[in-house]
Amino acid sequence: MAEPDFEVRLARGDADLRAAQGVRYRVFVEELGGGGGLVDHEFGLERDRFDPFCDHMLLIDRSKGPDQVVGVYRLMRHGQAEDAGSFYSESEYDLAPLRASGRRLLELGRSCLLNEYRGGAAMLHIWRGLGAYVDAHDIEIMFGVASFHGTDVEALAQPLSLLHYNHLAPEELRARARVFQPMDLLPEAAIDRRAAMVQVPALIKAYLRLGGVVGEGAFVDHVFNTTDVCLIMDTSRMNMQRARLYYGQEAAS
């Protein structure tokens, strides 16, 4: 089996966008049981109304072909959100504190890798491409919803409580869930930190290592079969040692 040969770039047209939506369908619909009004089951595409307004970062494994997309990240800057009418995550979270900050915003979403590329170098390549994008657009705050699989919040009491007590955003950046699900489900003293961290998805852990924080309250998304938290990253407060590891020098064009 050939070693992966990764390339990170932005989608350049309809074919690239469909490839991204196809990867999302395999992960979010087939694997995780998600849905949505614009999902195309006939052609295997997970899509929504925000896709035409966003940049779509692609991870390509050139060992499988010049256009073999194996991972994606959807990126929406403030101006693109204005054109779309809102950010995607505003259906779940009140982003007034972020908007009021006057700083340059970037929403991250729909991040996924095909199963066989998880746990290796693939996500590192995407993050390095993201770092180049952030630099190119002078982004000051990154944010987006990240998901725990399933909608049973009691089963997620340990990690949600840990995030609430240890990683809550400062008040001036604290987005709040619109349909509010408290995250402080356990007293702080009752949290088993080791057990809690085992349940935290790898993507959320990566944000936390960089200095990311979470908004107030979770959002239970029954359409996607997930429990979501709002992750917020102030680039001026990033853990730079970790940032150099994740971002490196690779660029997306």
In the predicted structure, residue 121 carries a pLDDT above the cut 90: no
Task: Give pTM, 2 decimals.
Answer: 0.88
Residue 123 pLDDT: 85
Residue 220 pLDDT: 96
In the predicted structure, residue 1 carries a pLDDT above the cut 80: no
What domains are defined for the chain?
A: 6-247 (3.40.630.30)
Residue 139: pLDDT band by 50, 70, 90 thresholds? Answer: very high
What does the pLDDT look like over 63-99, one tens digit per residue? 988 889 999 999 999 999 999 999 999 999 999 999 9
What is the rounded average pLDDT for all residues in the chain? 90
**DSSP letter string, the chain:** -PPP-EEEEE--SHHHHHHHHHHHIIIIIIIT----TT-BTTTTB---TTGGGSEEEEEEEGGG-TT-EEEEEEEEEHHHHHHHTS-GGGGTEE-HHHHHTTS-EEEEEEEEE-GGGTTSSHHHHHHHHHHHHHHHTT--EEEEEEEEESS-GGGGHHHHHHHHHHHBPPGGG--EESS-B-S--S-GGG--HHHHHHHS-HHHHHHHHTT-EE-BSBEEETTTTEEEEEEEEEGGG--HHHHHHHHTT----
What does the pLDDT look like over 35-59, one tens digit per residue? 778 889 999 999 999 999 999 999 9
Residue 246 pLDDT: 53
Task: Report, as an integer, the average pLDDT of 144-171.
Answer: 95
